Amino acid sequence: MRLLLPLLACALLGAVEDLGALRWADGPPGPGVELAGAKAIVRHPDGGVVALGRFPLPALRRHQFALVGRLSHRGLGSPSYVEMMVVFPSGARLPVRTQDDAGPLAWLRGDGRRELALPFDWSVLGTAPVAVELAVAMPTGGRVELEPLRLLAFAPDESLDDRPGSWWPRRALVRGGLLVAAGMGLWGVLALALVRRRRSHGAGRVALLALAGAGIAAAVTGLVALVLGQPRPVWLPLAFAGTVAAATGLAAWYSARRSPSEV
């Protein structure tokens, strides 16, 4: 039952398409790369660029894609980076490198473990790429371990936060959030209007209690989403809106225990 809402939301709103994981052995990797199970271990004692190989892309139906996964690195004496060279049918090549200051596209420095994301948008080019070539650049040497990278495809109005398994895509946050906020606000206004009328005072108190109950249910669902590892755009709106609705409904219900003339 708890999966009914996520499945319905994904069916109605769409989600990022998971096109599978890269197989490092398909590259094939060049010198300096050791395959250990599903991991690719890149070493270069003196520094340089190590090629991980060329990987063909499936037919892309959406205009943006990204390789995402996790990596760890040790002994990087100077800023290093992972490079994805995007290859087009004409032979043109465009690079994407982890050279940001922070986030999954940040430089690799020293020792650490983190997420990796290499996104690319080919919508303005009009032609889908056919392959990517991956490499790791370590100017002064070191070691980088890459876990399997998954290929995700998404539309311009979608986000990398809309990972497969997410209950709903990020773009639904604005639409759904506005609808939920408006609905709860109208609910509260109607309940208060009923409370202030002597004939409907009891019905108004029931409506306020129902609003508080709905808020508690939303807040609990947000906490469950957090525990299950859902991204922030899923659990935060539920937890925040639910807490506000529950607090408002309970406070108004408590105040409405008195006669309508005193509310």
pLDDT value for 67? 93
Least confident segment among 21-35, 49-63, 90-104, 116-130: 21-35
**pLDDT for the residue numbered 2:** 37
Kindly report the CATH number assigned to the domain that includes residue 71.
Answer: 2.60.120.660
The verdict on 23 and 105 lying in the same domain is yes
Looking at residue 188, its pLDDT comes to: 64
- Residue 174 pLDDT greater than 60, yes or no: no
Tokens (6 digits) for 38:
């599903």
Residues 63 and 93 in one domain: yes
Confidence of residue 197 (pLDDT cuts 50, 70, 90): low
Q: Examine the domain organization and report whether 150 and 179 are in the same domain.
A: no
Shared-domain flag, residues 147 and 22: yes
Mean pLDDT of 174-194: 63
CA 27 – CA 187 distance, rounded (Å): 58
Asked if residue 8 is part of any domain, the answer here is: no
- The span from the CA of 164 to the CA of 200, in Å, is 47
Dist CA 70 CA 68 (whole Å): 7
Residues 177 and 147 in one domain: no
Pairing mode of beta strands 17-21, 39-44: unpaired
Q: Is 165 inside a domain boundary? A: no
In a domain, 242, yes or no: yes
Domain containing residue 36: 18-154
Residue tagged 């790791």 (tokens) = 136
Which pLDDT does position 28 carry in this prediction? 80
| Rounded mean pLDDT, 135-155 | 90
My answer on whether 121 and 23 are in the same domain is yes
Same domain, 116 and 42: yes
Q: How many CA atoms lie within 13 A of 140 on its CB side?
A: 9
The pTM of the whole model exceeds 0.75: no
pLDDT at 12 over 50: no
